[in-house]
Structure 1
Amino acid sequence: MPSISDDREPVGVHEALQSLEKASRTPAKQRAVKVSGIVDAICRTAFDQGLDEHNLRTVVRIVSKKSELDQTSVTNLVKNLYPATRVPADVVVTVVGALGQGKGKPSLGTQNSLVKWLALAHEILEDSRVLSRLYGVLFGMLDMISIRTPLCHLLSLVTRRKHVKPFRIQQLLELSRGLGNEPALQGLLRVYRDYYPDIIIASTTATRNSFPPRPEPEWQKRLISILEASSATDEDVLEHRSGFRVSRKGRKRSKLSVIPDVHTFRANETSVTLEEIDSVEDFVGKLERIEPPGQMISFLTDPLLQKYVALKPSPITSRRIELWLSASLEEECNAARAGSEDSSYLFELAGGLGNHSQYDKGLLPIVSTFLRAYLPVWDGITAADAVLALLAYLPIQRFQDAYDSFLGPVEKVLPGHGLQSLEKLLHFYTQLLQHWIAQVAVRPAAPANKSFDKALEDLVVHVSNLSTSLLLSLSNSADSSIRSAILSFYELLSASSKPQVIPILLPPPLLAYLLAQSPSSATVSRICGIYANHKTAFDKHPTPITSYYPSKVTIPFNSCLRDFYNVFWGAKAFQSVGNSAAFFCHPALRVSLNDYLTAIEHEYAVGFALDLSHNPLLASLSAAAWWSLEDAEIEKHGYDRNSMNWHRGPVTQHSLEALEKDRGVSVSYLDYRRHVLQWMADRGCAGIRDLLFATHLKLKK
């Protein structure tokens, strides 16, 4: 029997769906093609790129009615119902219409799978109200044993206060008494009791079947990747992305969680609870009537409760949060002193506090008090990432005060845990700098707050000393991640300066030279990019610069710029100016190096040793750039490749002049170097280009 998957030419999904529709009406013995091949082709397309609205409707229409397809094929189709966009309302209506008893209904196993699919896809419906309008239809099918469990899970997700009616409560209680403690039914009753606490249900322990299960990780991950790749996807398509719906961890995770889910225990028939809010309009319209949940600490992990606390503050709310945190944080301090702290407990608690700090752009007062007491007894390992992320939101203050209370204890314990901990420390300082800069940026431009400037300056000086010490003490083979972390700090700093608001703070010359002499072209490019940013900042600053920055700042900066320019562009590497030695090369040593190199090749000299063509880190890049330029010139002018004289490198001004006279391409030395700079920039090494463009007037123009 031929199979559609056996054909040599690929079959489109539309053709496969047409074949599937035809096969669903044809008995198996009368078919001309093998259905399994058609189903595999459709499932592959659905898994790879999702099904658009038309194809999704077609598949749902086929599986939602009794057909000649075998159960295995139908089950595979439902399992691979990955929508590429939001699910249209008519698709949901078709699925709900397929449920129940009837001659044309699909099998009970298919109905079970379709209800599970609705529970998975209910967050990405085009019209979130469609399931609410169909609530009565779904509720009326609870007497069907075959779909009762997934149907209870779906209703638990959809139920809002308006759905909880006395007659439905009565029906649920009668079903519960008749069926015993059926887990899914008890879970739906608990949802009803959240809205009407007077409902009496049997005292049962919650099992994993009591509440809606979390989507299969593979299915959910694949759906998210498909939706993110779809141009029609909005940011709020994915689960809880909008932040206007209460988050649920699931029963199993809630039991293990330190921070509880949002639950309102004092609800009555006239009150409004956060659990029934499902849109921004609903939230705004009912904000003044919302009943606070039982445990306000849930706001650390729930976006909706976070908004409620921020928009409707009250002394009682603040006091409830403070009491819970003070008890929990004090317990954590005592456990750390006794050496019995639970890392998972602290990780979740600190992570929740970090989420709130990110939302509120600051620390709660009780958290600062906790950190001041906890850090001296911290081991530097327990929940390190969460603790450092929390510390990054310290308010800007006198640096010595921050160091004595917070930063000093961290620096004492972290370095003892290897290079990775040192990298974490540097990344932490980058995050702290970002937070402090954000606080400085919103202050009034005048009068200038000198204490803020001093705090930033002291922080940068401290990190500079720390970075220099690390580079001098670590080997080149071991410090690539450390160098990258240091550069990230200064890249943020160099891009943040703002005239008369955020001062220009420079890395010390020794640190800059150490980074510029790194055995990594990426590192050299990044330090050049940092100095290019500072040069641009000075150019945009009000003049005269000497009125704002002393000579002890500008003279070393100009010396570094001159050295970088001489190395990469001016062919004057290591040339001394006045009493200063470029790149700390003693003049006598430069003379010796120059004599040595010219003895090897009379046209070579120490000044050329680090330019674009000869630099050990950049020579291969500049050679590749030259080859691309040379090839482009030959193609542009239509030269005969076989008769052309190709440059063998390295490229110099003299070699280009000789090449032009000897049947080679005609390219000026300036054009060659500009092409090299742009070629490297296009491949991620833009720092050198930016620096030279910022300092060279002709290149800038």
Structure 2
Amino acid sequence: MTSPQDPDPDVDMDMDNLGIHVDDIENAAIVPAKRRKLAIKPTVERAVSVLYDRGALPEELGRLIDLVTLRSHLDQASLGSLIRNLYPAGKIDKDIVLKVVGALGHGQRKPSLPLQSLLLRWLVMVYHLLGSSAAVLFQAYAVIFNLLDTAAIRPQLCHLLALITRRKHVRPFRIQSILSLARQTGSDPALLGLLRVFKNYYPEIIVGEVTKGRAAAFKHPDLQWRVRLDEIRNQHMEHREDGIRNGFAVNHVLAGKLNRSKLSVIPHVHTPHSHENSVTLEEIEDAESFVENLDKLELPAQLVAILADPLLQKLMLLRPNAEGFSRISNWVTGCLIDVAGGDADPSLLLDLVDIVHDYVVCTKSLPPVFLAFFRTFFRMWDGRDKREAVLDTLSYVPISDDEGYQQIIGPLEQSILDGTPDSQLAILDFHTRLLRRWRVLMETSNNLPPSLRPSISALISHVNKLALTLTQTSPTVGTHLAILDFYQLTAALFSTRPLLPRVEISIPPPLLVYTLHFGHSLPVLARLCGILAVYKRAWESLMAPPTPRPLTPHEHGQIAVFNGFLMDLCNCLWRSRALAITDLNSQGCRIPRALEPVLAGYLRDMDAELALASAFGLSHAPVLSMQAIAYVREREDEQDGIRARHAGPVTQASLAQLQTRGGLVLNWHDYRAGVLGHLEKNGFGGVSELMYNTMKNLMKGKK
């Protein structure tokens, strides 16, 4: 690999502008060296330095290719230096590939053979980036093949042909041509390497001793060059990973060492036992050919390649194969046995977790083979390494009472839970993601298992206990909001009327509702009220004619508890009757009766005018009082001629007194409705949503 020269510190500020350097080189290319006024080599060195630093953008790459593929007055050393540093930072257009192919061969206007060798070497090194532009190489296969008798470029030609050869290119006359050249050259290793590629497609035709000689391995010409190319492309953020894979083509990489370490354990797609009329995955180049040959495609030798190859994943999804998944299961099981027996490094399991995660995210499915893998994996896992990948993968567990959630949640929690809030929050987040995906599945599928209802109920019941635990181990706003994320999802699930026949409404635990209600965060209170309002609509949908289904015994028992939530929160926030138990359905927020006089006495000591019944209303509640007085201030600022302002907190009596002193004219009902509107305007609409869906006088006023 050519290293760039250190740039001259005395050059101008435009030295890193590749376009300017290319302009100078293009001007010099049409002038003989003896007639140039300035030497061109320093300019070439600066261009090479820029290329090594940040690569060439598509337009710049096209101009440079023109320079190196057309005859000019530039010296061969400068042209070779440019070719060796052609790092493409963007897309390689098919016109560029066509120009390189057109520059090959003999002719007065062709580049010299050493430069052609460098151009072929460059094509090999950027082949994984060509994408659809590689079609030019397939179309020009005959042209490239017919140049094999040119010894100076034969090794590079063989390597390029090995990359682009497909079944349709392997023909008897070409096999005969290679055999003839091999005899003439004394079994050239490059030719034997190409012949072995041909043999992969037709092993029954190419036999005998001809392929047993020393053959080229077709390794990457310059791994350091590849590393620098990847760094440049990452800087330009053109691709997420080196060598983007076409979703409708096999990743044809001859050197497995180029793959990432975690993929090195996965065999690549290879179909050795093929015949004349069969179609292999290696021959598929686009979606059209994949669809046309879907029923004729042969499965590769190693089906476990499905974990890393997108085309094989599509084939197995469209043509499920029980034997194939059995082979994958045996391979995964073998890896587990090797690790457990000490024959393989434990890090192999973590690599497998990443591979399985990528597969599951790509296919949006978690086959039973991987559930079995994780059940064994949990016995060897410390619960920390690759935790996010494990949880994200298992969030695709299918809705099933037998194979999925019930069998996985116990071992999973035993591995992760260590008594810390972080581990508990990780499990909560897992359940939230799992339920979200189940909901998507329920809304998009008409063929769901009969165990759907008990599976959903079991999951929610499990999270109910986990949420109560978290309110004790981590009573923070972040934890409360994470808990509400889950219940907001359940509320949305139950309020979707087409899903009501399939699920059973399950409300949050009373202790959790009251704990969140009496918290110290307005966002928590607002979201809680909004969630309860959605739950209320779900109950109304279930009981409104025509009913989607009868209520279950469990739901009958929950209705009174849920009505108690609504009454208690309305008593606290709206009716100034906090902790009352005399109203229908009211539960007094389940505060022990012996505690009520203690709380009332504490409030009298703090403020003789503050009663326990109104201490949690819009005006006095710690999380609402600032918003309430802010609303009053806005009203006062809007009106002229006000002689007195309200000091707060607002009560029905204080509003009457304020009016007599020349203050704001506002009655008690309008004040509270205005506070609800103010909360909604500031992003806390859950409080008003619950009140307007529960209080009859507000319902009528809104109508």
Q: TM-score, normalised by structure 2?
A: 0.70
Q: Letter of the aligned partner of 2:512 in structure 1?
A: L
* TM-aligned CA distance change 1:62 to 1:540, over 3 Å: farther
Provide Cα deviations, 1:355-375, integer angstroms capped at 9, x if missing partner. Answer: 666677665555556666665
Residue 346 of structure 1, aligned match among 340, 349, 352: 349
Q: 1:277 matched to which residue of 2?
A: 284
- In structure 2, give the amino acid aligned to 1:459: L
1:677 equivalent in structure 2: 680
1:440-451 equivalence runs, <5 A: 451=451
CA distance in 2 between partners of 1:303 and 1:344 (Å):
24
Deviation at 1:559, TM superposition (A): 3.7
Q: How far did residue 277 of structure 1 move? A: 0.6
Question: Paired residue for 1:295?
Answer: 302
Distance in 2, matches of 1:536 and 1:176, equals: 84
Residue identity opposite 1:514 in structure 2: T
CA 291–408 in structure 1, closer or farther in 2 if over 3 Å, else same: closer
Answering whether residue 82 of structure 2 is matched by residue 89 of structure 1, we say no
2:220 aligned partner, one-letter code: N
1:505 matched residue in structure 2: 506
User: Structure 1 residues 81 and 405, CA, compared in 2 at 3 Å: closer, same or farther?
Assistant: closer
Counterpart contact for 1:329–1:370, Cα < 8 Å: yes
SS at match of 2:295: helix
1:588 alignment counterpart: 597
| Structure 1: gaps (5+ residues) | 229-236
8 Å contact from structure 1 (residues 43, 77) kept in 2: yes
Counterpart of 1:209? 220
Residue 231 of structure 2: aligned partner = 218
**Matched residues in 2 for 1:175 and 1:649: separation?**
101
Give secondary structure in 2 for the equivalent of 1:129: helix
In the alignment, the residues of structure 2 paired with residue 158 and residue 303 of structure 1 have an alpha-carbon distance, to the nearest angstrom, of: 19
CA separation of 1:43 and 1:330: change in aligned 2, threshold 3 A: closer
Q: Residues 357 and 574 of structure 1: is their aligned pair in 2 closer, same or farther, counting only changes over 3 Å?
A: same
1:154 is displaced (CA, Å) by: 4.5
* Aligned CA distance change for structure 1 residues 339 and 156 (closer, same or farther; 3 Å): closer
Could you tell me how far apart the structure 1 residues matched to 2:23 and 2:417 are? 65
Rounded Cα–Cα distance in structure 2 between residues aligned with 1:140 and 1:417:
71
Letter in 2 for 1:531: L
Verify the 8 A CA contact 1:247 1:302 in the aligned structure 2: no
Deviation of the 1:167 alpha carbon:
4.9
- SS at 1:79's partner residue? coil
| Distance 1:572-1:558 versus aligned 2 partners, 3 A rule | same
The answer as to whether partners of 2:580 and 2:588 remain within 8 angstroms in 1 is: yes
Distance 1:499 1:115, change over 3 A: same
- Does the aligned pair in 2 maintain the 1:245–1:279 contact within 8 Å? no
Measured after TM superposition, the shift of residue 282 of structure 1 is 1.0
**Residue equivalent to 2:142:** 136
Give the aligned partner of residue 430 of structure 1: 432
Q: 1:175 to 1:520 in 2, by over 3 A?
A: farther
CA distance in 2, matches of 1:352, 1:572: 58
Instruction: Give the deviation of 1:251 after TM superposition.
Output: 0.8
The alignment partner of 1:288 has SS state of: coil
Q: CA deviation at 1:132?
A: 1.5
The 3 A distance-change label for structure 1 pair 511 and 111 is same
Task: Flag structure 2 segments of 5+ consecutive residues without an equivalent.
Answer: 1-9, 665-669
Would you say the 8 A contact 1:490–1:530 is kept in 2?
yes
Q: CA offsets, 1:410-439, max 9 Å, x none?
A: 333331385544344333333443565566
The letter for the 1-side match of 2:129 is A
Q: 8 Å contact 1:161–1:276 — kept in the other structure?
A: yes
Q: Could you tell me which residue of structure 2 aligns to residue 233 of structure 1?
A: none
Deviates more, 1:539-548 or 1:406-415: 539-548
Would you say the 8 A contact 1:380–1:413 is kept in 2? yes
1:306-338 residue CA offsets vs partner (Å, 9 max, x unmatched): 33334445xxx53354255236416625854x6
Checking the alignment, whether the CA contact within 8 Å between 1:575 and 1:590 is kept in structure 2 is no
Output one character per residue of 1:128-155: Cα deviation in whole Å (capped at 9) or x when no partner.
5323112334445567788777765554
CA apart distance, 1:461: 0.9
Match of 1:231 in 2: none
2:398/2:404 contact within 8 Å kept:
no
Confirm whether residue 192 of structure 1 aligns to residue 198 of structure 2: yes
Q: Report the counterpart of residue 489 of structure 2 in structure 1.
A: 492
Q: Deviations over 1:236-255 (max 9, x none)?
A: x9933534445759512499
SS in 1 for 2:138: helix
2:560 alignment counterpart: 555
Q: Deviations over 1:216-260 (max 9, x none)?
A: 43344356x4479xxxxxxxx993353444575951249973431
Tell me the CA shift for residue 78 of structure 1.
3.5
Q: CA deviation at 1:538?
A: 3.6
Structure 1 length-normalised TM: 0.70
What amino acid is aligned across from residue 428 of structure 1 in structure 2?
A: F
Q: 2:452 is matched with which residue?
A: 452
Contact 1:494 1:505 in 2 (8 A): no
Displacement, 1:263? 0.5
> 1:3-57, CA deviations, whole angstroms, 9 ceiling, x for partnerless residues?
47399xxx9x99998788667657874699x96999699989988xx957x7765
Contact 1:95/1:114 (8 A) holds in 2: no
Secondary structure in 2 matching 1:680: coil
Task: Tell which structure's C-alpha radius of gyration is larger.
Answer: 2
User: What letter is aligned with 1:218?
Assistant: E
Q: Does 1:242 align with 2:247?
A: yes
What does 1:391-410 align with in structure 2 at a 5 Å threshold? 391-398=394-401, 405-410=407-412
CA RMSD of aligned residues (A): 5.8
Amino acid at match of 1:410: L
Contact preservation (8 Å) 1:246, 1:302: yes
| Matches of 1:606 and 1:187, distance apart in 2 | 89
Give the direction of change, closer, same or farther, for the CA distance of 1:202–1:405 in structure 2 (3 Å limit). same
**What is the distance in 2 between the residues matched to 1:625 and 1:249?**
71
Rounded Cα–Cα distance in structure 2 between residues aligned with 1:285 and 1:14: 45
- Partner of 1:476 in structure 2? 475
